[in-house]
Amino acid sequence: MPETNLAAIQRFLRAPSIAMVGVSRNPRHFSRMLFRDLRQRGMPVTPVNPQADEIDGVAVATDIPAGTEAVLVMTPATATAQVCDHAIAVGVKRLWMYRAAGHGAVDATAAERCRAAGMEVVEGHCPYMFLDDTPWFHRLHGGLLKLTGRYPAAE
């Protein structure tokens, strides 16, 4: 498995269009907090959830919209392969499989399929660790990964 590097993460975070697949309908869920924060930062994030019409006043897509450059996968790992297959089909260039603790959305086999299709993949990690001005506990998470040697390398 290729290691995720900081350059790939920064390219993802600067993408002109991001679909966030698996944003919860529950307003207290972590995915909703992340969705709101990314939008407040001006990031072009479209929520994707086939079981919702709107999230935080934003129209929800039932699947990854055509022309989307990047996809943030917030689903359980059991749904990640299906998300990846659709991302490949619509020509997504970058895909991030979210993970903070536990397994998250990471599916190594699906990640390899995405890479074989020419997609840049961020396998694991939480976007908060790489955003400016995040709360101390997100910075702590990144600091712990640095101490253990699991923080993404510069290149």
Q: Which residue has the tokens 């923080």?
A: 151
When pLDDT is cut at 50, 70 and 90, the band that residue 133 belongs to is confident
User: What's the pTM?
Assistant: 0.90
Fold topology of 6-148: Rossmann fold (3.40.50)
Q: In this structure, what token pair is assigned to residue 153?
A: 């390398």
Mean pLDDT of 11-35: 96
Measured CA angle at 134 (ends 128, 104), to 5 deg: 20
Domains of the chain by residue range: 6-148
When pLDDT is cut at 50, 70 and 90, the band that residue 138 belongs to is low
Tell me how crowded residue 89 is: count the other CB atoms within 10 A of its CB.
12
Are residues 94 and 71 in contact, defined by beta-carbon separation less than 8 angstroms?
yes
Is pLDDT of 100 > 80? Answer: no
Please give the pLDDT value at position 25.
Answer: 95
pLDDT tens digits, 107-121: 999 999 999 999 999
Is pLDDT of 1 > 60? Answer: no
Distance CA 103, CA 77 (A): 7
Q: 5 has which bridge partners?
A: 153
pLDDT tens digits, 33-69: 999 999 999 999 999 999 999 999 999 999 999 999 9
**Strand boundaries in the chain, DSSP class E:** 18-21, 45-48, 54-55, 58-59, 70-73, 94-97, 120-123
Question: From residue 67, how far is each of 15, 76, 99, 128, 153 by CA, in Å?
Answer: 12, 24, 25, 25, 29
